């Protein structure tokens, strides 16, 4: 299998790359090759007999879309997993909590002037859904490891939201639980190319007045929470593949 893993920022891929130094991983996480393409570095990793292609896309929907398409079309990714941080909209989500997207939408896509709903363009859909099987496997990982994995709608847009009014508008308009800047772009590309995907985020801030401060404070920690869980999911995917 070739598994693509995307994050947006270098800080979010670092905890994955650190695994090659981890003692218990020495025999698994190996054979490293970095391929530079279209302004990004794709890390090719052999892991338990499969291949991981790990990359940070840079921030925002365009960057994420290009990277997802490249992973699939150029590097042959058979599934795409997104790991990173997000702002919480749902007050039940606290810093460090994990949320798996059940649906993703673009909160800044707006042709409502023509009578269309927010987040919609003709021949598209407002909400894109991740692969059901990957969701089931993620739930198993959470149960087995005793980790609380929340699930909910993630809204994506080319804005760092640090504004209670904008946050409330996104909550009301899309019933979103968390907000970030790449997930729906990856989702849309994978959906169009028929490639299973899964989007995981650990909360870094509450998209409020303190968001920029909290983000800087918790980026590293929440990135690691997300990458740790994601490697658990990768293991589960490989185990599941071996059995089928």
Q: How far is the CB of 104 from ligand SAH (least distance, A)?
A: 12
Q: What is the 3-state secondary structure (H, E, C) of the chain?
A: CEEEEEECCHHHHHHHHHHHHCHHHCCCEEEEEEEEECCEEEEEEEECCEEEEEEECCCCHHHHHHHHHHHHHCCCCCEEEEEEEEEECCCCCCCCCEEEEEEEEECCCCCHHHCCCCCCCCCCCCCECCCHHHHHHHHHHHHHHCCCEEEEEEEECCCCCCCHHHHHHHHHHHCCCEEECCHHHHHHHHHHCCCCEEEEEEEEECCCCCHHHHHHHHHHHHHHHHHHHHHHHHHHHHHHHHHC
The answer to whether residue 207 forms part of the interface with ligand SAH (CB under 6 A) is yes
- Are 178 and 87 spatial neighbours (Cβ–Cβ below 8 Å)? yes
- 240 is known as an active-site residue: no
Total of chain residues touching ligand SAH, rule CB under 6 A: 18
Q: Strand 98-106 to strand 197-205: parallel, antiparallel, or no bridges (unpaired)?
A: antiparallel
The answer to whether residue 161 forms part of the interface with ligand SAH (CB under 6 A) is yes
The answer to whether residue 223 forms part of the interface with ligand SAH (CB under 6 A) is no
The answer to whether residue 87 forms part of the interface with ligand SAH (CB under 6 A) is yes
The answer to whether residue 238 forms part of the interface with ligand SAH (CB under 6 A) is no
List 211, 231, 233, 234, residue binding ligand SAH (CB under 6 A):
211
Q: How far is the CB of 102 from ligand SAH (least distance, A)?
A: 18
The answer to whether residue 59 forms part of the interface with ligand SAH (CB under 6 A) is yes
- Are 102 and 151 spatial neighbours (Cβ–Cβ below 8 Å)? yes
Length of the chain: 244
Q: Per-residue string for binding with ligand SAH, 111-150, x by CB under 6 A?
A: ----------------------------------------
List 179, 187, 199, 233, residue binding ligand SAH (CB under 6 A):
179
Select from 105, 149, 108, 148 the least CA-distant residue to 130: 105
Q: Per-residue string for binding with ligand SAH, 182-201, x by CB under 6 A?
A: x-------------------
Q: Of the two residues 68 and 85, which places its CB atom closer to ligand SAH in the complex?
A: 85
List 79, 95, 181, 230, residue binding ligand SAH (CB under 6 A):
181
Residue with the CB atom nearest ligand SAH in the bound state: 87
Q: From the candidates 90, 131, 182, 205, give the one annotated as an active-site residue.
A: 205
Q: From the candidates 11, 12, 90, 239, give the one annotated as an active-site residue.
A: 12
- 217 is known as an active-site residue: no
| Host H or E run for residue 46 | strand 40-47
The answer to whether residue 180 forms part of the interface with ligand SAH (CB under 6 A) is yes
Contact residues for ligand SAH, defined by CB under 6 A: 8-9, 59, 84-87, 160-161, 179-182, 204-205, 207, 211, 215
Residues involved in catalysis: 12, 205
């Amino acid at each position: 299998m070739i598994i693509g893993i995307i994050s947006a920022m270098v800080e979010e891929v670092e905890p994955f790359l650190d695994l090659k130094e981890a003692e218990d991983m020495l025999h698994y996480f190996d054979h490293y090759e970095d391929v530079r393409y279209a302004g990004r570095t794709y890390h090719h990793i052999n892991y338990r007999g499969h291949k991981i292609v790990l990359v940070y896309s840079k921030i925002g929907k365009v960057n994420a879309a290009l990277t997802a398409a490249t992973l699939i079309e150029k590097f042959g990714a058979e599934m795409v997993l997104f790991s990173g941080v997000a702002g919480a909209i749902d007050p039940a989500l606290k810093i460090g909590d994990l949320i798996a997207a059940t649906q993703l939408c673009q909160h800044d896509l707006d042709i409502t002037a023509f009578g269309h709903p927010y987040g919609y363009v003709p021949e598209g859909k407002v909400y894109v859904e991740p692969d059901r099987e990957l969701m089931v496997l993620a739930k198993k990982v959470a149960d087995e490891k005793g980790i609380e994995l929340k699930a909910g709608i993630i809204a994506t847009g080319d804005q760092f939201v640090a504004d209670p009014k904008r946050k409330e508008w996104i909550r009301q308009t899309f019933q979103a639980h968390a907000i970030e800047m790449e997930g729906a772009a990856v989702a849309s590309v994978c959906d169009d190319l028929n490639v299973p995907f899964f989007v995981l985020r650990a909360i870094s801030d509450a998209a409020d007045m303190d968001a920029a401060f909290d983000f800087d404070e918790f980026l590293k920690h929440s990135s690691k929470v997300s990458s740790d869980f994601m490697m658990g999911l990768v293991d589960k995917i490989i185990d599941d593949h071996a059995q089928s």
